Amino acid sequence: MKVAVFSAKKYDRDGFSQWADRSLQFSYHEIRLNKDSVKLAAGCHAVCVFVNDELDAEVLQQLSELGIEMIALRCAGFNNVDLDAAKVLGIRVSRVPAYSPEAVAEHAIGMMLCLNRKLHKAYNRVRDDNFALDGLLGFNLFGKTVGLIGTGRIGLATARILRGFGCQLLCHDIAQNPLIAELGGRYVPLAELYAQSDIISLHCPLTPDTKHIINHYSIGSMKDGVMLINTSRGALIDSKAVIAGLKNRKIGYLGLDVYEQEADLFFENLSEQVIDDEVFKRLLTFPNVLITGHQAFFTKEALQEICQVTSDNLLAFASSTATGNELVN
Ligand code: NAD
């Protein structure tokens, strides 16, 4: 089976070379899949895509006309795929539902610690032989209240680590996870989570219900100086509202691994280019904002699992079977 891999990086090629079966032939394309690049899938049976590839109804229609029968997502989130359109066109869509929840959870915790203890500043200071501590004052995580929005795989993994730190856990989800109670966590309405949490970490998917769940109104109901962490999807946050919250000191710390308009920025080296995104550039001016470029998933263990499960999903389709990772069958 021939597979066109979009948004392909060297680590994807390396990963698939280790795991791909001889019956899978990969052709790699560094560019993102969208209506302009879709023709590169010609001659293939499947496309393999990542978080910022665009699989709207128009692109899916074009893929179908090219003979594409399967879309293999090498990620867990699927907000970038029009599943209804894929179903109508009879295109199978599979994903990697849980390659490493711990990878993302550990990154979220890393952001909390870095922002709190100002490790990003300390790193540069010490390299400059500046050993002064002024401006590096942090706070103990022990005893603090952390609000988790979304308590699926990653939210639960985050809760487990925070429990070890001695944090109080307030949770919100449309479906309660019984394992949260075992960690001493408590489900509360969003209003209570916002009002009580010292740190809020987002672990729900991007859906019409969760788009801009963090907005002017919700920020206004948070504690003064709250720490906000988003390792989930950029559009959960209204970036302009967050900038206003940073300016009026409501938000004391902001950690972002994802950004609403990241498709034009992340995963590329743009260090020699002028970046036009004024909102993103404004975010970077705040001393209490830490941004990473969608790297929470990026561990050796997660990459290995992504390549293995994606290959399994493709091979299952080739042999007319299923793995259980199908979103559309
Ligand atoms: P999951 O499906 O296991 O858990 C998601 C949870 O969110 C579920 O419990 C679900 O009930 C809950 N949820 C859904 N709608 C909600 C709502 N309106 N309000 C509150 N909770 C709601 O998914 P997961 O594996 O934990 O991943 C969570 C998200 O993390 C993914 O959707 C993806 O967007 C993101 N992610 C980011 C990275 C990264 O590298 N930054 C990597 C993997 C996943």
Task: List pLDDT tens digits, range 209-225.
Answer: 999 999 999 999 999 99
**Could you give the CA distance from residue 282 to residue 6 in angstroms, rounded to a whole number?**
30
Instruction: Write down the pTM of the prediction.
Output: 0.94
What's residue 233's pLDDT? 96
**Could you give the CA distance from residue 279 to residue 239 in angstroms, rounded to a whole number?**
7
Identify the active-site residue in 54, 260, 262, 305.
Answer: 262
Looking from the CA of residue 258, the nearest atom of ligand 1 is 41
Q: Is the per-residue pLDDT at 311 higher than 90?
A: yes
Q: Which two tokens stand for residue 72?
A: 């293999």
Query: Which of 11, 161, 172, 173 is the pocket-test mutation for ligand 1 (most atoms within 8 Å of CB)?
Result: 173
Distance of CA 159 to the CA centre of its chain: 17
**Could you give the CA distance from residue 163 to residue 183 in angstroms, rounded to a whole number?**
7
Domain 2-99+300-328 in CATH 3.40.50.720: yes
Query: Which of 156, 232, 258 is the pocket-test mutation for ligand 1 (most atoms within 8 Å of CB)?
Result: 232
Q: What does the pLDDT look like over 234-284, one tens digit per residue?
A: 999 999 999 999 999 999 999 999 999 999 999 999 999 999 999 999 999
- Note whether 2-99+300-328 and 101-291 share their fold: yes
What's residue 20's pLDDT? 67
ipTM metric: 0.99
Considering Cα of 152, then 155, then 157, then 159, what sign does the dihedral take?
A: negative
What's residue 18's pLDDT? 74
Class for the domain spanning 101-291: alpha beta
Average pLDDT, the chain: 96
Q: What does the pLDDT look like over 89-137, one tens digit per residue?
A: 999 999 999 989 999 999 999 999 999 999 999 999 999 999 999 999 9
Q: What does the pLDDT look like over 20-33, one tens digit per residue?
A: 667 899 999 999 99
Q: What are the domain boundaries of the chain?
A: 2-99+300-328, 101-291
**Can 326 be counted among the known catalytic residues?**
no
Q: Which two tokens stand for residue 123?
A: 């790193």
**Can 233 be counted among the known catalytic residues?**
yes
CB 205 within 8 A of CB 95: no
Sheet of strand 168-172, all strands in order from the earlier edge strand to the far edge: 186-187, 168-172, 145-149, 199-202, 226-230, 251-256, 289-291
